[in-house]
Amino acid sequence: MTEPDRTEDVAAHARSRVVDLCRDLVRIESTNPGNGEREAAEHVAGLLTDMGLTPHVSETDKGRTSVVTRVEGADPTRPALLVHGHLDVVPVQAADWTYPPFAGEIHDGMLWGRGCVDMKDMVAMTLSVAEGWHRAGAKPPRDVVLAFTADEEAGGTKGAKDLVENHAGHFEGVTEAVGEVGGFSVTVRDDLRLYLVQTAEKGIEWLRLTARARAGHGSMVHPDNAVTQLATAVSNIGRYDHPVELTPTVQRFLEEITEVLDIPLDPDDADTAVAKLGNISRMVGASLRNTSNPSMLEAGYKVNVIPGVASAQVDCRFLPEHGEELLAKIRELPGPGITVESTHSDIAVETAFEGDIVEAMAAALKTEDPHARTVPYMMSGGTDAKHFSTLGIRCFGFAPLLLPPDLDFSALFHGVDERVPTDALEFGATVFSRFLAST
């Protein structure tokens, strides 16, 4: 006898619960830096316990808490899937908000609050589906590890990185993972929506430039000036036009969008195609090339004193396989006498947009939105995928949301008035339940 198909029951349950689950999470002020994740983690662990699961709670520093559990699949001999979401949110300036950022209020069909898109929405989708499995007596096809992490907003050292380095046993047998940032819709026409699945993210290289020269009186002739040297270096780096380099993810992305927009793909002018994407062009434009943005300057203490030292910090992001090239260029650009040192670096990740898991995403989206077309993209920021990928796991960003065409989605991340349409959450939970039932 085969198992009865509970997919529709799970989908219906997930759909009915996701908004409340997200709202409850938004009301927990898990700011980073700030309150930390413990209260949110305890809340999640309680929900998992109620589902008959065994949550493993781990804490790095006081209040910096992550939760991991494993849902047994119908075929536990198959490689497992990881579903991960971070519990922390970035802080707010509450006075700037239309509605209080930690009240979880619903207005105009939207749930408002910090974390609504980054990323308590996906945490709620995940919980709604797991609860659906429990209620319906259903199992996912294979083991699913659920990880709810601390500290993603500060690089994950006290969350995913700790889990990977000190609790790797939780991820035994995991070959694929889904987390943020992807699965959201970009409306091209009434009858065509692109859903961007993240298959890559850029690497990070934060650099400090230091100029050392002769200190002296501001009234003198003084060509050997650290401030002047640093200014030249900063200007050279900030103005440098990094060449467009298409990784497999971006190549595929551009092929897809130029096809649907019916414009020619000119590899020497990828920016023109990207500019046609409206609100998200800023986000995807950064996936075409390495970037180097000077962001901090430090020098001097009095106007008539020339300091002996001047320094600047530069936020560099590199494409997968292009980290060395970026560093070589940045060492060349400042000119003589400037030292360049790394203050923080992290890897780039990229996986192929292929396999059963990708087909399961596309099919789940298509069931709920007949106008869906699934395309891969590269994110310029970093996520916990950087840490999980070190275990050899293929990482995807997939938190499905059908968004209104005019919503500037990328601006909501860390933005004022972060919010999510409640029907997008319901759509997401439904798609997510179908995806997890078929991968």
Residue number, 156 or 323, with CB nearest to Zn ion: 156
Q: Is 118 in the site for Zn ion (CB under 5 A)?
A: yes
Region binding Zn ion by CB under 5 A among candidate stretches 7-15, 72-80, 173-181, 286-294: 173-181
Q: How many helices (H) and strands (E) does the chain have?
A: 13, 19
- Angstrom distance (rounded) from CA 299 to CA 101: 37
Identify whether the C-beta of residue 233 lies closer than 8 Å to the C-beta of residue 334: yes
Q: In this structure, are residues 362 and 201 in contact, taking their beta carbons and an 8 Å threshold? A: no
Q: How far is the CB of 86 from Zn ion (least distance, A)?
A: 6
Report DSSP letters for 35-70, one per residue. Answer: T-SHHHHHHHHHHHHHTT---EEEESSTT-EEEEEE
Q: Which two tokens stand for residue 149?
A: 């992490």
Pick one of 21, 119, 284, 316: the residue that binds Zn ion (CB under 5 A).
119
Query: Is 115 or 320 the residue whose CB approaches Zn ion more closely?
Result: 115
Distance between CA atoms of residues 210 and 226, nearest Å: 8
Residues numbered 292-351 forming contacts with Zn ion, rule: CB under 5 A: none
Our CB check for Zn ion shows the closer of 91 and 337 to be 91
Q: How far is CA 205 from the centre of its chain?
A: 17
Of 119-127, 262-270, 310-318, 322-330, which segment contacts Zn ion by CB under 5 A? 119-127
With CB atoms as reference, the residue minimizing the distance to Zn ion is 118
Query: Is 273 within 8 Å of 257 (Cβ atoms)?
Result: yes
| Span of 172-180, 281-289, 315-323, 351-359 interacting with Zn ion by CB under 5 A | 172-180
Which stretch in 26-34, 115-123, 355-363, 429-437 sits in contact with Zn ion by CB under 5 A? Answer: 115-123
Is the Cβ–Cβ distance between 63 and 36 less than 8 Å? yes
d(C-alpha 6, C-alpha 139), whole Å: 9
| 147 forms part of the interface with Zn ion (CB under 5 A) | no
**In this complex, which beta carbon is closest to Zn ion, that of residue 111 or of residue 326?**
111
Q: Would you say 119 or 385 has its CB closer to Zn ion?
A: 119
Closest CA to 397 of 376, 421, 418, 413: 376
- Answer yes or no whether residue 178 interacts with Zn ion by CB under 5 A: no
384 near Zn ion, rule: CB under 5 A: no
Question: Of 55-63, 117-125, 297-305, 331-339, which segment contacts Zn ion by CB under 5 A?
Answer: 117-125
Binding of residue 150 to Zn ion (CB under 5 A):
no
Nearer to Zn ion by Cβ, of 198 and 292: the residue is 198
If one asks whether residue 205 binds Zn ion (CB under 5 A), the answer comes out as no
In whole angstroms, give the CA distance from residue 176 to residue 145.
10
* DSSP secondary structure string for all residues of 271-316: HHHHHTTGGGHHHHHGGGS-EEEEEEEEE-SSTTEE-SEEEEEEEE
Residue 151, interface with Zn ion (CB under 5 A)? no
Size of the site for Zn ion (CB under 5 A): 3
Q: Which is nearer to Zn ion, 123 or 330 (CB)?
A: 123
- Judged by the rule CB under 5 A, the positions of this chain that interact with Zn ion are 118-119, 180
